[in-house]
Amino acid sequence: MMASYSLSTNRLVLRTPREEDFEHCAAFMSSERSKFTGGPTADRFDIWRGFLGSIGHWGLRGYGFFTVLHDDQPVGRVGLVNHIMWDEPELGWHLFEGHEGKGFATEAAEAVRLWAAETHGLNHLISYIHPENAASRRVAERMGATHERDTTLLGQNAQVWRHRKIVP
């Protein structure tokens, strides 16, 4: 059984994922909204494996993506990943349909960034952002991150955005 974590902000609750979150993730991954995060795909088994991989990240690394709730409704996922092909731990985010433009991604990502520094000593995080993903670039900029370099990730163009150091 994986450890359960919960973070709170003024408007949001971030908690470790649960099986009931799968349908929200499946809707996201099968939509055009996922084009910068490995989608879209209609293959539910691929989506399920990705969902389980996210949960497995918690078991292996002690961190992963949180499910973000607003008024007890899932609005997206924000968290940390460090896959074997990543240069270093990444702070990532995505919002479900209809929840963009409300500041949820920035608010949740700032809470996760602080938690990562306090709990895991991870205070030099990056975010991989596709060059065409203007919305994610704006979140990174609002958080004070800066574009460090261009790279490729999983055969796709990506930018590495460096977050400011957090000293807990």
Total-model pTM = 0.94
What's the CATH number where 61 sits?
Answer: 3.40.630.30
| Mean pLDDT rounded to a whole number for the chain | 94
Please give the pLDDT value at position 108.
98
* Percent of the chain with pLDDT strictly greater than 90: 85
Which domain, by its residues, includes 82?
A: 6-122
CB atoms within 10 A of CB 153: 17
Residue 70 identity (one-letter amino acid): H
Would 115 be classed as within a structural domain? yes
Would 155 be classed as within a structural domain? no
Please give the pLDDT value at position 3.
72
Given a cut of 70, whether residue 13 has pLDDT beyond it is yes
State the helix-helix crossing angle for 22-29 and 44-61, rounded to 10 degrees: 120
Tally of domains in the chain: 1
Would 133 be classed as within a structural domain? no
